[in-house]
Amino acid sequence: MIELLAPAGDLEKLKIALLYGADAVFIGGQNFSLRARASNFTLDDILEATTFAHARGKKVYVTTNIIPHHEDMEGLIEYLQHLEKANVDAIISASPFIVDMALKHTNLEVHLSTQQSATNANTVNFWYNHGVKRVVLARELDKHQIRNVIDHTEADIEVFIHGGMCMSFSGRCSLSNNMTDRDANRGGCAHSCRWNYELNVAGQKLSDQPFSMSSKDLEALEQIPHLIDSGVSSLKIEGRMKSLHYIATVVSTYRRLIDDYQRDGVIQDFMPYMKELEKAENRLASHGYLEGTPGVEQQLYNMRSERPTQLFVGLVLGYDEKTGVATIEQRNHFTVGEEVEIFHPSGLVEPFKVLEMTDHDGQVLDVARHPKQIIKMHVPFKVEPYAMLRKR
């Protein structure tokens, strides 16, 4: 079975990712991780995460993927041993030293990060023979090159299928460090490539149109069948900084696509999956390198493309089957009389109309306008915790 691997920036997002169809999640601890601005997990959080995941037959991987400087090494071995005690299923590392310390001082399974730029089977086999079980390939390979690597190695292969794409080779960027003193390879990327710049030659501005160096996000829906047939072990979604609704929508969509293809052996129409992904807040997307060297159409040279949505209006906290009343934590503005839908963790979507609602104290509301407000409303069918209320 191929693994669907999802990001999780905190415990709530981890639970959402697993409930909505991920087979495994990758998370960052408070040390040695490349997402310094994510909420990140304490050691107690990591133990809670593995307990929750393992009870459902799923896995948790912890990123230890910084490119460390000498001063970053303090406490490394102790931290790795704590991860082992917390029963994490693997760590994801880029530094050869961190890999060696994990293999020498723990029984942790080690996965090689995409930051190591593995682009060929010889490199993959070097790390596999060194003790690394899985290699996350560089994002600069097309789908045929990925298949060729898999045909010539015994290592498990992980491939990115969705999310942000670094404009620099395998994330090895110094732009943020030089411009803001925030080191991208130690967790501090300022996304300087997405800023607007002027193009000048000999002091003369070439154009009034601002220029950026950012790439479109990756969306590999149409490449999933080829990757499955190629023997990829894990399909990876990027986005530990993303919202609950984004994670639920993206994970659920790829889960359905993977299951449909494995059941039917063919996908006749990708449009329903594409339409579902559009419900998440996304930047413009492309296939990245998967169909060959990207052209101009895969870049965002002169525009930003964030497409926020306000479809996600509430998170279900509980449901009373006797009264049919759901307890919901409000996330975006909605009103009595609106057509909404419940997006279930199973992927099922059921519509209904908001006829009435009250606050936690029983006061009647015409509108839900306060983020995180606890609201009660009648829902004409059973809902479960972590289902989502969306506008239609």
Of 190-204, 285-299, 376-390, the least confident: 190-204
Q: What is the mean pLDDT of residues 308-335?
A: 92
Model pLDDT, residue 308: 59
Percent of the chain with pLDDT over 90: 69
CA distance 294 to 20: 31
Once rounded to an integer, what is the mean pLDDT over residues 51-73? 91
Cβ neighbors of 389 (< 8 A, separation 6 or more) are 312, 313, 314, 315, 316, 328, 334, 340, 341, 342, 343
Neighbours of 168 (CB within 10 A): 17
Residue 309 has pLDDT above 70, yes or no: no
Is the pLDDT assigned to residue 180 strictly greater than 90?
A: no
Architecture of domain 3-300: Alpha-Beta Barrel (3.20)
SS3 182: coil
Query: Tell me, what's the pLDDT at 205?
Result: 84
User: pLDDT band at residue 170, thresholds of 50, 70 and 90?
Assistant: low
| Helix (H) or strand (E) run with residue 181 in it | none
Instruction: Find the range with the poorest average confidence among 151-160, 259-268, 281-290, 364-373.
Output: 281-290
User: Average per-residue pLDDT in the chain?
Assistant: 90
- The Cα 46–Cα 88 span in angstroms is 8
pLDDT, residue 392, reads 86
Does the pLDDT at position 36 exceed 60?
no
Report how far residue 48's alpha carbon sits from residue 52's, in angstroms, rounded to the nearest whole number: 6
pLDDT value at 293 more than 90:
no
**Averaging pLDDT over each range in 63-72, 144-153, 173-182, which range is the top one?**
144-153
Cα separation of the two ends of the chain: 34
pLDDT tens-digit series, residues 105-116: 999 999 999 989
79-103: per-residue pLDDT in tens? 999 999 999 999 999 999 999 999 9
pLDDT at 105: 98
Domain definitions of the chain by residue range: 3-300, 312-391
pLDDT reading at 118 higher than 60: yes
The pLDDT of 144-157, averaged and rounded, is: 98
Query: Has residue 137 got a pLDDT over 90?
Result: yes
pLDDT, position 203: 82
- Please determine, for residue 168, whether its predicted confidence score (pLDDT) is greater than 90: no
371 versus 374: which is more confidently predicted? 374
pLDDT attached to residue 307 = 57
Query: Among residues of the chain, what percentage have pLDDT more than 70?
Result: 93
Task: Please tell me the pTM assigned to this model.
Answer: 0.91
Q: Does 183 score more than 70 pLDDT?
A: no
pLDDT of residue 123: 98
The CATH homologous superfamily for domain 312-391 is Translation factors (2.40.30.10)
- Mean pLDDT calculated for residue range 354-382: 94
Q: Is 105 helix (H, G, I), strand (E, B) or coil?
A: helix
Chain segment 330-355, per-residue pLDDT in tens: 999 999 999 999 999 999 999 999 99
pLDDT per position as a tens digit, 228-242: 999 999 999 998 888
Average pLDDT over residues 344-373: 94
Higher pLDDT, 291 or 282: 291
In this structure, what is the dihedral angle of CA atoms 328, 333, 337, 342, given to the nearest 10 degrees?
-40
Measured CA to CA, the distance from residue 386 to residue 383 in angstroms comes to 9
